Amino acid sequence: MTLAAAPGRSARRRRAATPYVLLAPTVVMLTILFAVPAVYNVWLALHKVTPYDALGEGDYVGVANFESVLANPLTPLSARNTVVWLAFATVALRLVLGLGLAVLLQHSVLRRMRVLGVARTIVLLPWMVPPTVAVAAWKWLLDGRTGLVNKILLQTGAIPEGIPFFADLTWVWPSIVAVFVWRELPFVVISFMAGLQAISAEQYEAASIDGADGWRSFWHITLPNLRPIIAVIGLFITIGAFNNFIYVWLTTGGGPGTFTQVLATQLFTTAFVDNHLGGGAAIGLLMSGFMLVFAAVYLLTVLRRGDD
Amino acid sequence: MTDLQTRSGGPQGRAALRVVRRRRGLTASDVGVLVLTAFVCVAIAFPFVWMVLTSFFPTDELFDPTRLFPRPERATLANYALLLSGSNFATYMVNSAIVSVGSMLASVVISSLSGYAFSRYRFRGRQVVMVAILAVQLFPFVILITPMYAFFSELGLLNTRLGLVIAYVAISLPFASYLMLGFFETVPRSLDEAARVDGCGVIGTLFRVVLPVAWPGIATVGINTFILAWEEYLFAKVLNTDESMKTVQVGLANFFGEFTTRWDLVMAASVLASLPTIILFAVAQRRLVSGLAVGGVKE
C-alpha cells in the first residue's frame, strides 16, 4: 500500500531496479554457463591442459593447438564428413522429405476419412523418442547378424551373408544418415505444416481458375510462399547438424577406424579421450568460426534474394 | 493444432472440384494419397514398433536365424525384470527423474521471473538482453563442454545431480524465457494493477495472481524442460561418470556399446528410457508442437 500511496524517490528507484532483479537469475546463469565458458574456451585453446589440471593451470603454447589440429591428417577427413554427410545430406533429405510429408498430410482426403490425427501422431512419433533410444532401435534393426533387415535379406537370398551396416564402408554413412533423419524429421514437418496453414485458399482457387494443376500450383504458390520458412529452418537445422555429436558418436564412435569421424566427435575425442582440452577447444573455436561465416553468407544471400 | 484440422484448402486446392468429387466418393488420386500415407506411416513407425515388440521376447527367440518374427507364446516380462533387478538401470532412472524434475521446477521459476520482466517492464538494455538470450540458444553444446567440464570440476559439481540440474536449467532458459514472455503477454495488465492496489508486491503479483492465469505457459515450459533434461546425453556423459550418478540415457548408451549381445535387454531399457517423454508428448502434443514451432531449435 505504501508503495502505491507514496511513490517517493526511493520507491521509484526500487521500481526501476525491479526488472533487473527479476532478470538477474537468468542472466547470471547464462553468463556462467555460456558466456564465461565461451571466453575460457579461447584461453584453453592457447594452452596445454588436461582434464586433471585445476582451473587456470596449463602451459601457454600460443597457436600450437591450432597448428596441430590443422596439421592432423584426420581434420580434413572429419571436416569433409561433417559438411557432406551431416550438414548437407541430412539437411537436404529433411527439407525434401519434410516438405513432401507436410504437403501429403495437408491433403483433404485425410481429413475426410478422419485419419489425419493418427497419421500426424505417427509422423511425430520419432520425435517423442530420445535420440539415444532412436540409435538403439536402429542399431538393433540393422544389426549385422541378428537384425531384422539382415534376416530378411538373407532369407530372401538377396545377400550371401549379413551386412554389418554400421561397420561396412559402403553402408555406414547412409545408415547414420537414416537414424539422424528418422529422429529429426518431425520438427521440419511440423514447421512446414504451420507454414502451409498460412497460405490462403484463395491463392489456390485463383490458380485453379487459371488452369494450374497440382504440380503447377505447388511450384508457383506453395514453394514461393514457404520460401521464408524453408530458409530459416534450413539455417537452423544446418547449424544443428554441423555441430551434432550424438548420432555419429553413438552409432560408430567415428569408426570403423576413423572413417566416420566428424568435427564434433574429433573435438570430444581430443579433449576427453586423448585428455587434451586445449586441442578440443581449438577445434571448437574453428567450428564456431566456420559456422559464423556460413551463417553470415547464408543470411546475406538467402535474405537478399528474398527481398527481390 | 486444431486449425490444422479444420481449415480447408490443401496445396492442391481445387476446392470447387472437390465438393463435387466428395459426393461421388474417392477418386483415384485420393486412394493414391491414402496408400502413400499408410506406407509412410508404417515405415516411420516400424523401428519403434519393433523396439517395443522385441523388448518382450527372450534372446534365443530373437536371434533364431530361421524365424523373422518371434512367436506370441514366447512373450515375457523377463527382460524388464532382469533389467531392473540385475543392473543399475533403476538407479539411472531415479537419477534422471530427480534431475529432470529438479530442472523443470527451477526452470519454471526462473523463466517466470525473466519472462515477467520482459513482458511488463520497458528498461534500458531490454533489447540487448533479449537478443543475447536468443543468440545463446544457437551455441553448440559440444563446444561448451570442454570449458564447462573444467568449471564444474573446480566447483565440485562433477558427479552430482545438482550439477546437471544447473546445466539443464541454463540450457532451457532462453527458450523458456521467450515462452513465458509470450504467455504473459496474453494476461491482461489490469490484473497486475488490481493486485498492486490490493497490496501485493511484485513477487506476490507474479506468483499469486499472474502465474495462476498463465498456467498453460508453466505447463509448456515445465514439460519442455523435463523432456530436455530426460533426453540429454552429452553433458550427462561428461559430467557424471560415477555409476551411482549416471542418468538413463548414458546408462542406455553404455548398454549398446561395443559388446552388445543382449538386444532384448537393450530394447527393454530403450522402452523404459522413452516412457516418460512419450507419455508427456501424448498428454501435451498440441502445446509442445505449437511451442516448438515458435522457436525451439536444438539438436
User: Do residue A29 and residue B278 have CB atoms under 8 angstroms apart?
Assistant: no
Is the interface score ipTM higher than 0.90? Answer: no
**Position B125, amino acid:** G
Of B114, B252, B273, the CB nearest to A22: B114
Assign B9 to helix, strand or coil: coil
pLDDT of residue A237: 93
Do residues A243 and A291 lie in contact, with contact meaning Cβ atoms separated by under 8 Å? yes
How large a percentage of chain A has pLDDT more than 70?
94
Q: Which residue of B has its CA nearest to A286?
A: B143
- Mean local confidence (pLDDT), B220-224: 91
C-alpha cell at B200: 501485493
**Position A61, amino acid:** V
Question: Is the pLDDT higher at A223 or at B258?
Answer: A223
pLDDT of residue A208: 82
pLDDT band for position A308 (cuts 50, 70, 90):
very low
CATH classification of the domain holding B170? 1.10.3720.10
Contacts of A208 in chain B (CB under 8 A): 13-17
User: Do residue B234 and residue A236 have CB atoms under 8 angstroms apart?
Assistant: no
The count of structural domains within chain B is 1
User: Do residue A33 and residue B252 have CB atoms under 8 angstroms apart?
Assistant: no
Contacts of B261 in chain A (CB under 8 A): none
Residue A143, φ and ψ in degrees, nearest 5: -55, 140
Of A44, A113, A134, the CB nearest to B34: A113
Intervals of CATH 1.10.3720.10 along chain A = 66-307
pLDDT band for position A180 (cuts 50, 70, 90):
very high
pLDDT band for position A305 (cuts 50, 70, 90):
low
Q: Which residue of A has its CA nearest to B147?
A: A37
Q: Which residue of B has its CA nearest to A49?
A: B150
Of B121, B140, B267, the CB nearest to A243: B140
Of B14, B68, B233, the CB nearest to A152: B68
pLDDT of residue B286: 73
Q: Is A85 exposed, middle or buried (0-12, 13-18, 19+ CB in 10 A)?
A: buried
Mean pLDDT for chain A overall: 89
B79–chain A nearest CA distance, Å: 16
pLDDT band for position A163 (cuts 50, 70, 90):
very high
Question: Is the pLDDT higher at A305 or at B223?
Answer: B223
pLDDT of residue B166: 94
pLDDT at B9 over 60: no
Of B63, B263, B293, the CB nearest to A190: B293
pLDDT of residue A23: 94
pLDDT in tens, A55-110: 777 889 989 999 999 999 999 999 999 999 999 999 999 999 999 999 999 888 89
User: Do residue B11 and residue A204 have CB atoms under 8 angstroms apart?
Assistant: yes
User: Do residue A201 and residue B8 have CB atoms under 8 angstroms apart?
Assistant: yes
Within a domain: B218: yes
Q: How many CB atoms lie within 10 A of CB A182?
A: 21
Least confident of A37-51, A112-126, A147-161, B139-153: B139-153
Of A40, A191, A199, the CB nearest to B147: A40
pLDDT at B184 over 80: yes
Closest CA to A298 of A241, A232, A240, A225: A232
CA A175 to chain centre: 17
User: Regarding the domain with residue range A66-307, which homologous superfamily does it belong to in the CATH classification?
Assistant: MetI-like (1.10.3720.10)
* E strands, chain B, in order: none
CA–CA gap between residue A214 and residue B170 (Å, rounded): 47
pLDDT of residue A8: 63
* CB proximity under 8 Å: B 106-165 to A: 110-111, 113-114, 116-117, 120-121, 123, 126, 129, 132-133, 136, 138-151, 153-154
User: Do residue B16 and residue A205 have CB atoms under 8 angstroms apart?
Assistant: yes
List A59's β-bridge partners, or say none. A48
pLDDT in tens, A185-209: 999 999 999 889 888 888 888 888 8
pLDDT of residue B292: 55
Q: Is A176 exposed, middle or buried (0-12, 13-18, 19+ CB in 10 A)?
A: buried
DSSP B201: -
Do residues B126 and B177 lie in contact, with contact meaning Cβ atoms separated by under 8 Å? no
Assign B199 to helix, strand or coil: coil
How large a percentage of chain A has pLDDT more than 90?
59
Q: Which residue of B has its CA nearest to A195?
A: B293
pLDDT in tens, B18-60: 554 555 578 888 899 999 999 999 999 999 999 999 999 998 8
Mean pLDDT for chain B overall: 85
CA A183 to chain centre: 11
CA–CA gap between residue B99 and residue B168 (Å, rounded): 9
Q: Which residue of A has its CA nearest to B262?
A: A140
User: Do residue B50 and residue A141 have CB atoms under 8 angstroms apart?
Assistant: yes
The segment with the largest mean pLDDT, out of A33-37, A193-197, A258-262, is A258-262
Residue showing cell 519393433: B50
Of A37, A130, A187, the CB nearest to B230: A130
Question: Is the pLDDT higher at B243 or at B21?
Answer: B243
- Mean local confidence (pLDDT), B143-161: 87
The parent domain of residue B90 ranges over 82-295
User: Do residue A123 and residue B110 have CB atoms under 8 angstroms apart?
Assistant: no
Within a domain: B283: yes
Residue showing cell 540450457: B171
CA–CA gap between residue A107 and residue A184 (Å, rounded): 23
Q: Encode chain A in three state secondary structure.
A: CHHHHCCCHHHHHHHHHHHHHHHHHHHHHHHHHHHHHHHHHHHHHCEECCCCCCCCCCEECCCHHHHHHHHCCHHHHHHHHHHHHHHHHHHHHHHHHHHHHHHHHCCHHHHHCCCHHHHHHHHHHHHHCCHHHHHHHHHHHCCCCCCHHHHHHHHCCCCCCCCCCCCCCCCHHHHHHHHHHHHHHHHHHHHHHHHHHCCCHHHHHHHHHCCCCHHHHHHHHHHHHHHHHHHHHHHHHHHHHHHCCHHHHHHCCCCCCCCCCCHHHHHHHHHHHCCCHHHHHHHHHHHHHHHHHHHHHHHHHHHHHHHC
pLDDT band for position A5 (cuts 50, 70, 90):
very low
Within a domain: B193: yes
C-alpha cell at A121: 501422431
pLDDT of residue A3: 44
How many residues in chain A?
308
- Mean local confidence (pLDDT), A236-264: 94
Least confident of B14-28, B68-82, B110-124: B14-28
CA B96 to chain centre: 13
CA–CA gap between residue B185 and residue B216 (Å, rounded): 13
Residue A166, φ and ψ in degrees, nearest 5: -90, 10
User: Do residue B63 and residue A184 have CB atoms under 8 angstroms apart?
Assistant: no
Contacts of B202 in chain A (CB under 8 A): 18, 22
**Position B30, amino acid:** D
DSSP B207: I
| H and E: helices and strands count for chain B | 16, 0
Within a domain: B76: no
